[in-house]
């Protein structure tokens, strides 16, 4: 998927996971389009300068439906607000442009990270941790813990840790835990001592969560467009190896 940068008017191709996130935001924003549920008859003039009576949406200012026959009472109707719909359209364009600018900036940040030698997962995970979706999940986990570390239940929780990357990007809340700094450091030390990876691949370990060949969570590696991909192009059967 490619989107148009509203600043440069250039087409910018998005990474697959960014494209999926962008599509979800587009659908959510589209759902807020005006449904023209509140209208009233108003009087005005058509493009030819002739008098007209038509329904105008009270929320966005769009003229909807067919013209209504004028009557002796038409002159008592309020005038059509010619400025309302252009103002609404300008506001909506600003909202759409804001979304596009944000995703262009995310994509360009990834390209810069690639040039600096950062892995795909490092770049995409950093973007994800800055996303509204992660902020919502993080808040829910903190609420669940009532602000206390779920490792020691003594210190205040300050960080949210992934117990699993299996559903990275759309985690179940039980795959996330609120921790204090000390417990977070401790669990990372434990993770470093545990072998991880695809259970049947020589590049992996026992729990199938981390790919050592591509240095990213298995779930991120195996998505369409990922480093290994759904066809597991980097797979080496651990049972037959060596």
Tell me: the pLDDT tens digits for 138-148? 999 999 999 99
- Is the separation of the CB atoms in 106 and 127 below 8 Å? yes
Rg (CA), the chain: 27
- Could you count the other beta carbons within 10 Å of the beta carbon of residue 119? 15
Q: What is the mean pLDDT of residues 43-52?
A: 89
- Is the separation of the CB atoms in 214 and 222 below 8 Å? no
pLDDT value at position 123?
66
Distance from C-alpha of 198 to C-alpha of 220, rounded to nearest angstrom: 12
CA-based nearest residue to 213, from 223, 200, 198 = 198
Residues 6 or more apart whose CB falls under 8 angstroms from that of 228 comprise: 211, 213, 214, 221, 222, 234, 235
81 sits in the region (left: phi over 0; alpha: psi -120 to 50; else beta) called: beta
pTM, whole model, 2 decimals? 0.48
Q: Mean pLDDT for the chain? A: 83
pLDDT value at position 120?
60
Q: Is the pLDDT of residue 55 over 90?
A: yes
Beta-bridge mates of residue 210: 217
Residue 91: strand, helix, or coil: helix
Ordered alpha helix ranges (H), the chain: 16-30, 84-115, 120-129, 132-144, 181-193, 218-222
pLDDT tens, residue by residue, 74-133:
889 999 999 999 999 999 999 999 999 888 888 887 777 666 665 566 667 777 888 888
End-to-end CA distance of the chain: 41
Could you tell me the residue ranges of all domains in the chain? 1-23+92-118, 119-193, 194-242
Residue 17 or residue 100, greater confidence: 100
Please give the CATH number for the structural domain made up of 119-193.
Answer: 3.40.1800
- Is the separation of the CB atoms in 200 and 216 below 8 Å? no
pLDDT tens, residue by residue, 176-216:
999 998 898 888 766 554 444 466 776 765 566 777 777 77
């Amino acid at each position: 998927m490619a989107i148009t940068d509203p600043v440069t008017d250039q087409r910018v191709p998005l990474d697959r996971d960014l494209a999926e996130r962008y599509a979800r935001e587009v659908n959510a924003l589209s759902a807020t389009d005006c449904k023209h549920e509140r209208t009233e008859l108003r009087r005005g003039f058509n493009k030819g300068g002739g008098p007209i009576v038509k329904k105008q949406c009270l929320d966005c200012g769009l003229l909807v439906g067919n013209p209504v026959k004028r009557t002796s009472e038409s002159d008592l109707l309020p005038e059509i607000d010619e400025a309302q719909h252009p103002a609404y359209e300008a506001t909506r364009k600003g909202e759409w442009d804001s979304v596009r600018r944000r995703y262009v900036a995310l994509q360009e940040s990834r390209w810069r990270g690639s040039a600096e030698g950062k892995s795909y997962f490092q770049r995409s995970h950093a973007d994800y941790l800055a996303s509204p979706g992660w902020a919502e999940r993080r808040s829910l986990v903190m609420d669940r813990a009532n602000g206390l570390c779920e490792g020691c239940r003594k210190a205040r929780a300050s960080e949210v840790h992934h117990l699993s990357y299996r559903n990275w990007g759309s985690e179940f809340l039980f795959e996330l835990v609120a921790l204090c700094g000390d417990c977070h450091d401790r669990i990372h030390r434990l993770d470093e001592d545990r072998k991880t990876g695809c259970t049947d691949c020589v590049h992996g370990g026992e729990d199938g969560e981390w790919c050592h060949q591509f240095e990213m969570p298995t779930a991120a590696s195996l998505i369409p467009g990922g480093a290994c991909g759904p066809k597991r192009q980097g797979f080496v059967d651990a049972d037959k190896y060596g």
